[in-house]
Amino acid sequence: MRVIVLGGSGTYPRPGEACNGFLIQESGADILLDFGTGCMANLLKTVDFTRLDAVVISHMHVDHYLDLYPLFYAMRFHLDKPWGLPLYAPRGALATMGKIMGEDSRAYLERVFTPYDLQVGESFRAGPLQVQCYPAFHPVEAFCLRLETVDGPARTLGYSGDTAPCPGLVEAARGVDLFLCEATMINSFAEHAHGHMTSAGAGQAAREAGAARLVLTHIWPTFDREQSRSEAAEAYDGPVDVALQDMILDI
Ligand SMILES: [Zn+2]
Ligand SMILES: [Zn+2]
């Protein structure tokens, strides 16, 4: 399994760097895992958007789904009509998107995307990956996700989405090869975390889950990412990195 970082900034972009979004490549399939502000421009550097196999959105905050709009319009007006892209997202995702669209475009949302509701405790197949949904702790319905290869030796990816520390986060990351965990706040800003993780909290969750490797994402744009990394490393014995745009993570 290959993870290409389309963006890793939390809440709003860094200069020249998009919000959370990851392209997962496995067995020839291309799957998006979140697709926040600025990700579309980076996706286009790597793959043909008409050949995506599935999109998985952890929750409907704009820093995780906003670039579904340019993806929608690119597909909506493509002459080949590459429609019916499976979209796994919280219930009502397309209705949420449609609120700021004109009637003519809104009518095409369910043709361009084929929506499936994420449900806690359920799993689904996205191309060659099995995806399990766990409850996150966040102001809107949100999911921690565990992605596992189906063919060949199992490779596992845990993804926090956005969440405060919670049991679902640790379960999603239990024994994974790679744990992609948000670390919005440096430790000294813990009181401002509001449904998010601190860097030490991400390290603690990785340790508790027994994850083999921790990669931090969704760090608030004004923080020094090396500080986040070192704070997480104090709470976790394994390797810790920060998800930087265009980074390739092979599992
Ligand atoms: Zn976010
Ligand atoms: Zn959020």
What pLDDT score does 152 carry? Answer: 83
Residues of the chain scoring pLDDT < 50: none
Angle (CA) 170-171-173 rounded to 5° is 65
Calpha distance 184→180 (Å, rounded): 12
What pLDDT score does 153 carry? Answer: 86
CATH class of 2-250: alpha beta
Say which ligand is closest to the CA of 11: 1
CB-based burial, 225-238: b 16+ in 10 Å, e otherwise? beebbebbbebbee
10 CA → ligand 1 middle, Å: 5
162 CA → ligand 1 middle, Å: 6
Which tokens sit at 201? 């909290």
Q: What's the predicted TM-score (pTM) here?
A: 0.97
192 CA → ligand 2 middle, Å: 14
The domain spans of the chain are: 2-250
61 CA → ligand 2 middle, Å: 5
What pLDDT score does 170 carry? Answer: 98
Residue type, 246: D
Residue 46 CA neighbour count, 13 Å, CB half: 23
Angle (CA) 249-247-226 rounded to 5° is 105
Are 39 and 46 contacting, i.e. CB atoms less than 8 angstroms apart?
no
162 CA → ligand 2 middle, Å: 5
135 CA → ligand 2 middle, Å: 13
70 CA → ligand 1 middle, Å: 19
Within 10 angstroms of residue 15's Cβ, the number of other Cβ atoms is 6
54 CA → ligand 2 middle, Å: 21
80 CA → ligand 1 middle, Å: 33
Say which ligand is closest to the CA of 139: 2
